[in-house]
Amino acid sequence: MTSRTQESDIGLVVAARHRFHFNEKKLRVKQKLETERRKIFLCSSHEIGQEENFTFEKLVTAYTSRDPVFQEKKGISDLEPEDLGLENLRKDTEIGYEGLFAAHRNRWNQIREKSDLVLDGPDFDLLAIRFSLFHIYQMAPQHNEHLSIGAKGLSGEGYKGHVFWDTEIFVLPLTL
């Protein structure tokens, strides 16, 4: 899916691939695209009996014309993020979910090693601090200095994507 924001004219693309497995074998499932106002649905169905194994895997890539790979270019066409999104979706499909998850887990381990601390106190307090660190790292865009930190990060819809002018002040001590 390729689109462009109305006011800021930012191009974006989301490419997705779905895989279905039934009793450990690849399954072809008929998919139907449906739309409503501001919504897109990809619907599919398959009957599954008791004790049968059904696995659904969804891989997604998302790019915008503001991503670092496009920063030096002027007048990015919608085709450039689209081509990159589809190319990386093909690569990610070859790597597969398990390989992608292993890389994801390794990257989070690197972040945790860099920012972890030792706390002399209850285990729950350390868990709470680590959970807070996780939220800060997952919502603070480290790949692009032009992006801000969402008011509720990626986990809450309360502010619907709003950004407050002073959010980085709260995160600054951690990132120094």
Residue 68 has pLDDT above 90, yes or no: no
Q: In a 10 Å sphere around its CB, with 0-12 CB exposed, 13-18 middle and 19+ buried, how is residue 85 labelled?
A: buried
Mean pLDDT of the chain: 85
Pairing of β 11-22 and β 25-27: antiparallel
Q: Is the four-CA dihedral 162, 164, 165, 169 of positive or negative sign?
A: negative
Residue 20: pLDDT over 80: yes
15-19, 90-94, 117-121, 168-172: segment of lowest average pLDDT = 168-172
| Residue with the two structure tokens 């407050």 | 164
Q: Is 124 helix (H, G, I), strand (E, B) or coil?
A: helix
- Which one-letter amino acid corresponds to residue 18? H
Whole-model pTM? Answer: 0.73
Altogether, the residues listed in the chain come to a count of: 176
Residue spans of the domains in the chain: they are 1-95, 116-176
Tens digit of each residue's pLDDT (9 = 90 or more) over 107-161: 999 988 888 888 899 999 999 988 888 888 887 777 777 777 777 666 566 666 6
What stretches of the chain show up as alpha helix (H) in DSSP? 79-115, 123-139, 167-175
pLDDT value for 107: 93
**Cα(130)–Cα(120) distance, integer angstroms:** 14
Give the pLDDT band of residue 77 (cuts 50, 70, 90).
Answer: confident
- Give pLDDT, residue 62: 92
Q: What span, in angstroms and rounded, lies between the C-alpha atoms of 135 and 153?
A: 7
